[in-house]
């Protein structure tokens, strides 16, 4: 091959590689989820499933034509991997600490509703039905779970001293046995755990929403996926919310059988 032709081919190859490296959607986006937070996400490594992985997979693959890999790890490891840039992204609350190492979408990917669960026919059910306020919660024995940042902030803000359980199901069992009066958790998690533990006859999750956690897509600042990708993600979600396809997807995922 002539010297000039070899030089031209080499130069074009270098330019192509450079362009691909700078293109946000040139390779699969890897999104990590909590491996132990059913029904939102459950399962190790590539076996992770649930509302959030399925939601992100459909938005990216179907509506953005972006190849995506979803994986599950313990939550502390998920955050560490995204911070170090070993995983591209995760879906959670965009706290000030997380925004030090990740870019966030403007659009909410999912809103987690916090609703109270009580024993059927109990004084707690009556009082929270009549007056669903933080002041009412202060009069009751209130259970929260270890490591729940939202719950800790809510309790401190409203002068509530919680009894701490290890997991949501721990609080639900205490409500069932009458050891506490109420627990305030994600309604999707509470309803699923009540069904799995066959406590439907004893417990009820009330309709009033006491707060929400807005989850966004957070992309590591060390990822090859940059702000242009997030802008495209936001536009896709805006379109889906406008045409109703987002709400249809959420309803379908909420009605999926519990595993």
pLDDT digits (tens, 9 = 90+) for 155-174: 999 999 999 999 999 999 99
Confidence (pTM): 0.79
Q: Could you give the percent of the chain with pLDDT greater than 90?
A: 85
Q: Which CATH class is domain 3-110+215-254?
A: alpha beta
> Among the CATH numbers 3.40.50.10860, 3.40.190.10, 3.10.290.10, 2.40.50.1070, which is that of 112-212?
3.40.190.10
Nearest-angstrom CA–CA distance, 212 and 119: 23
Q: Could you give the percent of the chain with pLDDT greater than 70?
A: 89
pLDDT digits (tens, 9 = 90+) for 27-70: 799 999 999 998 999 999 999 999 999 999 999 999 999 999 99
Q: What is the pLDDT of residue 149?
A: 85
Tell me the sheet residues that pair with 142: 182
- pLDDT-derived band of residue 256, with 50, 70 and 90 as boundaries? confident
Burial of 79 (0-12, 13-18, 19+ CB in 10 A): buried
Nearest-angstrom CA–CA distance, 172 and 199: 9
Neighbours of 98 (CB within 10 A): 17
Shared fold status for 3-110+215-254 and 112-212: yes
Nearest-angstrom CA–CA distance, 48 and 63: 21
Q: What does the domain layout of the chain look like in residue ranges? A: 3-110+215-254, 112-212
φ/ψ of 253, rounded to 5, equals: -70, -35
Which parts of 146-251 are beta strand (E)?
163-165, 182-186, 203-205, 211-220
């Amino acid at each position: 091959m002539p010297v000039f032709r070899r030089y031209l081919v080499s130069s074009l190859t270098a330019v192509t590689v450079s362009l691909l490296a700078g293109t946000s959607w040139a390779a699969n986006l890897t999104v990590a989820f909590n491996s132990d937070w059913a029904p939102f996400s459950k399962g190790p490594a590539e076996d992770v499933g649930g509302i959030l992985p399925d939601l992100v997979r459909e938005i990216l693959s179907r509506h953005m034509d972006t190849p995506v890999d979803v994986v599950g790890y313990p939550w502390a490891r998920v955050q560490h991997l995204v911070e170090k840039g070993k995983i591209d992204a995760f879906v959670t609350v965009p706290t000030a600490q997380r925004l030090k190492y990740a870019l966030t979408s403007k659009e909410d990917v999912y809103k987690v509703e916090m609703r109270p669960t009580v024993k059927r026919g109990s004084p707690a059910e009556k009082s929270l039905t009549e007056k669903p306020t933080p002041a009412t919660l202060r009069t009751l024995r209130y259970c929260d779970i270890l490591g729940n940042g939202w719950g800790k902030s809510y309790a401190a803000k409203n002068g509530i001293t919680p009894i701490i359980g290890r997991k949501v199901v721990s609080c639900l069992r205490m409500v069932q046995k009458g050891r506490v009066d109420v627990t305030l958790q994600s309604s999707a998690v509470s309803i699923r755990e009540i069904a799995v533990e066959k406590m439907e006859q004893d417990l009820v999750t009330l309709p009033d929403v006491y707060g929400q956690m807005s989850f966004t897509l957070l992309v590591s600042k060390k990822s090859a996926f940059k702000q242009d990708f997030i802008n495209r993600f936001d536009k896709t979600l805006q379109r889906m919310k406008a045409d109703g396809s987002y709400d249809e997807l959420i309803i379908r995922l909420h009605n999926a059988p519990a595993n």
